[in-house]
Structure 1
């Protein structure tokens, strides 16, 4: 994401808010929602407002709690039984963990308050992502520092310019491209190409209210609208069209 972006859309009884910054990306919705099985290359905190979160992993029993923290690359489906906030944190910004973490109601309230989203209406575009990340880190812990070469690579590919060639980044940190890819996977646990797609997806979602989905896909570097849709289903369990008011193309 080249710069922090926010948007808010309302239609009938549905209100959705998106915000993206350096520390976190947020999506909030004013009604319950369920998403299909997916595998996100980032941490996700599901924070229902008054209800609870449900998570289902293939072949396992459903996990239900007032809130949930889901680690990167975990294949799962989830639902929120009330309006909710979903907070996405890049994988290297929290310490690694083996599975989902249940949040108590008090922890969810503190996280929502830090985001300035404690009211029944949920957050607006003034949401404080930095404070939300700080509170989430107080719950989940502090991550280990990244190798500076890896930190530079993931920053460039996910927040600055997803189109920059890996070879160019490797040259900047005085590594070969294969060695840089291997080092990123070793330290972050996720292939650099997958992290790059995550950066493109965030950019595309940020542009959704300004025009057609196909235009958002092209601007973010996807081959076409179908490529964006496949990536969205894979990473967040829903299509770009489900993030827009009905009737939008």
Structure 2
């Protein structure tokens, strides 16, 4: 179940995050066209322009353009939207594996925006209903296969419940050796457990950025320092934490 602990609103002339992350999904909005540098995100990304279109470029590949896009995890790419847009990040195991981006037509984008609570042409909304949005996404991609319960518990421990818990301790709690746990996570999710932990910390930091400095958000989320947060944001999102603040 995707949960949305706080309401969001897309404000005029505001270029940054307006929604705080939950355990399995993060959503934020841009109120103007925006482009991000090359990155690899360890989660699914839905780019939902409001009135424009999305552009995606992989190294050595022709540009992909569509009213909206769903980008699979770990795909190295640059991305842009030609209008205000909503970006929705969904943990990789919540949708079936794909190796290539999925083009969304205008009707699919409108349905997703409506499910997420976006009602106006400028993107103004009331409360993000990520559960409805997830149902719409599953209608487009199908249902994922269930995770091994040990993998699911390990991911919950290292990304949500106790992000500082050593992987050896996590492995012990789920009854596996550390190498076996790492291998099982890669087999089930396709992403290293350490990388998933960094993604969990980045989501926590993003949630704090509207009301905090980057240095304090980094410390609260468990990053070694602000530079570590900056490197992770650039690696995973193709942008700096400063671009996510007011």
Please indicate the TM-score interval, normalised by the length of the shorter structure. over 0.9
- Equivalent positions of 1:210-249 (< 5 A) are 210-245=211-246
Show structure 1 runs of 5+ residues with no match: none
Which residue is 2:59 aligned to?
58
Show CA shifts across 1:107-155 (max 9, x none): 0000000001132232546211111111111111100011100011112
| 2:50–2:121 Cα contact (<8 Å) kept | yes
Structure with the higher fraction of residues in strand conformation: 1
- Aligned residue number for residue 37 of structure 1: 38
The separation in 2 between residues aligned to 1:108 and 1:8, in whole angstroms, is 18
Query: Which residue number in structure 1 is paired with residue 103 of structure 2?
Result: 102
Q: Aligned partners of 2:54 and 2:143: how far apart in 1?
A: 24
Equivalences, count: 243
Equivalent residue for 2:192?
Answer: 191
Give the match for residue 14 of structure 1: 14
Q: Confirm or deny: 8 A CA contact 1:146 1:187 kept in the other structure.
A: yes
SS at match of 1:233: helix
Distance 2:233 2:221 in 1: 13
- CA distance 1:19–1:138, change in 2 (3 Å): farther
> Match for residue 178 of structure 1?
179
Contact 1:4–1:22 (8 Å) recurs in 2: no
- Compared with structure 1, are the counterparts of its residues 157 and 174 closer, same or farther at alpha carbon in structure 2 (3 Å cutoff)? same
Once residues 206 and 140 of structure 2 are traced to their aligned partners in structure 1, the CA distance between those partners, rounded to angstroms, is 28
Using the TM superposition, give the Cα deviation of residue 161 of structure 1 relative to its aligned residue in structure 2, in angstroms. Answer: 2.3
Offset of residue 23 of structure 1: 4.0
SS at match of 1:14: coil
Q: Which residue of 2 aligns with 1:148?
A: 149
Write out per-residue CA displacement over residues 21-70 of structure 1, whole angstroms, 9 at most, x where no aligned residue: 24421011111100000000000000000100000001111000000000
Runs of 4+ in 1 over 6 A off after TM superposition: none
Which residue pairs with 2:86 in the alignment?
A: 85
Alpha-carbon distance between aligned partners in 2 of 1:50 and 1:128, rounded to the nearest angstrom: 21
Residues 10 and 29 in structure 2, CA contact (< 8 A), matched pair in contact too? no
State the shift of 1:160 in Å.
2.2
Aligned 8 A contact 1:204 1:216 in 2? yes
Distance 2:100 2:90 in 1: 16
| Distance across 2 between alignment mates of 1:217 and 1:237 | 17
Contact 2:9/2:124 (8 A) holds in 1: no
TM-score normalized with structure 1 length: 0.92
Q: Hey, what's the Cα distance between the residues in 1 that align with 2:242 and 2:133?
A: 27
TM-score by length of 2: 0.93
Aligned mates of 1:143, 1:21 — CA distance in 2: 20
